[in-house]
Amino acid sequence: MADVMEMIGGYRLRNLLQSGQTSQVFEVVEPTSNRHFAMKLLLPEAADKAEHRNILFNEAEVGEKLTHANVIRIFKVSRSPTTPHFIMEFFPSGSLRLRLQAKDTAFIKEHARRIFKEMATGLAYMNAMGYVHRDVKPDNILVNPLGETKIIDFAITKKIPKGMARWFYRKGKPQGTPSFMSPEQINDEIPDARMDIYSYGCTLYELTTGRPPFRGSTPNDLLGRHFKEKPAPPTAYNPDLSDEFSQFVLKLLAKKKTDRPSNFHEVLMALKKVKQIYKSVTEKRDQ
């Protein structure tokens, strides 16, 4: 396990930002420029395992191709045998999951329009660049005190197959987070933007109601509910939500992907038409 003030790859570790099962994220300083970055570093016990290295390098390779205000920037990757890592922009903030855990509903309510719009804008860009994120959830959305938003974690992001690649697509083991997976992602069908649209809908549902649209007694029970259970309207759990916003979210959660908006540009247009998200909030519509 790495220590603060240690030097790795020309960067000094400053603060531990996040610790996971296979990796840690540090705030780091580049001594030559005094600039601050973030480093995602595999733990020693994961560094020599091909599966974990491949996941880290996939995330880095995807992120290096993306340049957008609402998507975290990844600048370079080190394939060191002992300290594999990548360097990304430092965005001092916490995830929306932390806001939910802190029950900071006032913050979410105040910045809802901006957060939802910036999430959709970043995902529209990723899809336009040919990628499906496949793990859209509050944990993977960073938001600062102003409501500025960045999408992170491309560990299971996939390229959208085109042309002949679609014919040769082979189903594998489903990947994702059960509470946020679309029916077609659970079936590991050919990825397209509507997978992310469904997950985005699940995320908005939890952010505004404090609970995901479906709950199950086991992971398989939960996955099954994405296919067969009709979600309760968000207004059932938060009567302060407007009916038009509630209907907007339910449209994103359509079981058939053909019943959802076909891309995030349509999502953004539909969101713009929602006059109020919360009944008790008078919004500034310049966001």
Over residues 121-139, the pLDDT tens digits come to 999 999 999 999 999 999 9
CB 46 within 8 A of CB 52: yes
Average pLDDT over residues 43-66: 94
Residue 28 confidence (pLDDT) above 60: yes
Residue 20 contacts residue 69 (beta carbons within 8 Å): no
104 catalytic residue (yes or no):
no
Instruction: With cut-offs at 50, 70 and 90, classify the pLDDT of residue 250.
Output: very high
Check 48, 135, 139, 192 and give the catalytic one. 135
Task: Express as a percent the part of the chain with pLDDT over 70.
Answer: 96
Angle between helices 105-128 and 264-273 (to 10 degrees): 150
Sketch out the chain's domains with CATH numbers: 7-89 (3.30.200.20), 94-273 (1.10.510.10)
Give the per-residue pLDDT at 287. 47
Q: Are 154 and 186 in contact (CB under 8 A)?
A: no
Predicted TM-score (pTM) of the model is 0.93
Express each pLDDT in 75-95 by its tens digit. 999 999 999 999 999 998 999
* Element (DSSP H or E) covering residue 7: strand 7-8
Whether the per-residue pLDDT at 251 is higher than 70: the answer is yes
